[in-house]
Amino acid sequence: MRDQRIDMVELSVVLVDSETMRDLNKKYLNHNYVTDVLAFRMNDGEFTGFNPEILGDVVVCPDTALECAFKLNESFEKEMSLYLVHGILHLLGYCDQSAVGAAEMSEIQERILSLNV
């Protein structure tokens, strides 16, 4: 279930190197590999509802973005934008652990990334 609408929200974006991303992924998700983006929701855990306007933290690994951009022949900026949007969607309560959830997130990401703002 996704969070209800709040007019003003706050989130932090943290850029980390590959080693730090591997450490975070291992510590919090028990995955011993570098990933592209992690999202830590403030509305999960002990302090749920304490500050609903604070969504949480999006942690992005620019090293991974650069590597993927090169492999996919995309721009670094496009990869970073994808990771940021993906992380924010997780903060908003979207989940890509199922095929249906992944398809929904992918569709929303594409719509957001296609905007010319």
Q: What is the pLDDT of residue 47?
A: 66
What pLDDT was estimated at residue 54? Answer: 84
What sign does the CA torsion over 111, 103, 70, 21 have?
A: positive
* Residue of 87 and 53 predicted with greater confidence: 87
pLDDT in tens, 71-83: 999 999 999 999 9
Tokens of 17: 């190197």
| pLDDT at residue 1 greater than cutoff 50 | no
Q: Taking 80 as the threshold, does the pLDDT of residue 5 lie above it?
A: no
53: left (phi over 0), alpha (psi -120 to 50) or beta: alpha
User: Is CATH 3.40.50.300 the classification given to domain 10-113?
Assistant: no
Question: What does the pLDDT average to over 96-100?
Answer: 92
Pairwise CA distance, residues 63 & 58, whole Å: 15
5 phi and psi angles, rounded to 5 deg: -70, 135
